[in-house]
Structure 1
Amino acid sequence: MSARKIFFALPVVALAGACANSGANYVPIVDGAVGPNYQSDLANCQALARSQPTLDSNTAGAAAIGAAGAAATTAIIDNSASDLGRAAAAGALIGAGASAINNTQNQEVIVRNCMRGRGYNVVG
């Protein structure tokens, strides 16, 4: 594998590793004592968050907008069709990634709100 491919693969690997405690797997910080039902409540809230997909119809739309925007920008700046395919692919990845990150953040909010609704003092 060339150094260039490794350079571009590293952020993807780092992002995947950073997602271990995010989205539906999020474990909130609770202030105060937790009762005997904590693990069960957490599992139920995480399951509720998992029911909301990370990739949805908005992700496809964001990918299309990203692809069109990147291709148009490349065409304007470069005034050449040689790199339009690569620019469109990169734009699609960026658009889809941004949408997936937003959906992951929404899953965390679902876990927090669910745990609060079950009486836990969630502070983070």
Structure 2
Amino acid sequence: MKHTFFIALAGFGLVAACADSGANYTPILDGTPTPAYQADLEACQALARNQKQFDQETMAATVLGAGAGAALGEADSGDAMGGAIAGALAGGIASAVDVSERRESIVVECLRGRGHRVVG
């Protein structure tokens, strides 16, 4: 049981650490950056970081994953706690990856909207 707690704690830490990774994205430009690029990049990254509804979606996916994992763990092996932890990690990590990609997309589209030639 003690090992399960530490594994879960490490997994939740990983999910939390990934949450802002997309907002910190620095895209590749086609050409030389303009003088306004750095200020625009920082503004676009802040815009992506401030999308708090994404954090709520990740929490919801974690909770749903925990519920589904508990039910499946109990039905399969009688280990509801282990199933809940596995489900929470699976739901949380999948959502964190999706949120990171969405935040990265916000940075890219924001910079394009400000006239920068972003290629990826």
CA RMSD of aligned residues (A): 2.7
Give the helix-richer structure, 1 or 2. Answer: 2
Distance between the aligned counterparts of 1:60 and 1:51, measured in 2? 16
**Residue 122 in structure 1 maps to residue 118 in structure 2:** yes
Moved more, 27-36 or 88-97: 88-97
Unaligned runs of 5+ residues in structure 2 are: none
Aligned to 1:45: 44
- Identity across the alignment (%): 48
Aligned to 2:58: 59
Aligned to 1:36: 35
Deviation at 1:108, TM superposition (A): 0.5
Amino acid at match of 1:91: G
1:75-114 superposed matches below 5 A: 75-78=74-77, 80=78, 83-114=79-110
Q: Deviations over 1:71-100 (max 9, x none)?
A: 22223322x2xx211211221122122222
Deviation at 1:69, TM superposition (A): 1.9
TM-score (ref. length: structure 1): 0.74
Distance between the aligned counterparts of 1:70 and 1:47, measured in 2? 35
Q: Deviations over 1:35-69 (max 9, x none)?
A: 1111111111111111113521x223212221122
Distance between the aligned counterparts of 2:60 and 2:48, measured in 1? 22
Q: Is the contact between residue 65 and residue 90 of structure 2 (CA under 8 Å) also seen in structure 1?
A: yes
What stretches of structure 1 move > 3 A for 4+ residues in a row? none
Amino acid at match of 1:101: V
Distance between the aligned counterparts of 1:98 and 1:85, measured in 2? 20
How many residues align? The count is: 111
Unaligned runs of 5+ residues in structure 1 are: none
TM-score (ref. length: structure 2): 0.76
